[in-house]
Structure 1
Amino acid sequence: MAIAIVILAIAIVISAIAIVILAIAIVILAIAIIDFANAIVISAFAFIDIEF
């Protein structure tokens, strides 16, 4: 019984770590999307400056 509890505890810890890693990945992805959007806006302004 004790072994089963230990295995369960380890499984919970691993799943918690996986959730944290997933959250970090989502944050990194969000930052990347924001940077990409900023790059598009900057290039659009640069294009407008060249045109006019």
Structure 2
Amino acid sequence: MTSAEMTKIAIAGGILFAAYKYGNGLIKAGAVAVAAGVIAKRVPYVKDVM
């Protein structure tokens, strides 16, 4: 993973964290779902299945 990829993931993670911390219930659920998708694409054994 390059530095540029890590920067993109860190920015997205920060935005999702802010949405989770300060949003209402629907926004929190969306932020968790998007974060789960991002993580699933980064984990090698899950990425091969998706």
Which structure ranks higher in relative contact order (CA pairs < 8 Å, sequence separation ≥ 6)?
Answer: 2
TM-score, length-normalised on structure 2? 0.43
Task: Give me the TM-score of the superposition, normalised by structure 1.
Answer: 0.41
Q: Whose helix proportion is higher, 1 or 2? A: 1
Tell which structure's C-alpha radius of gyration is larger: 1
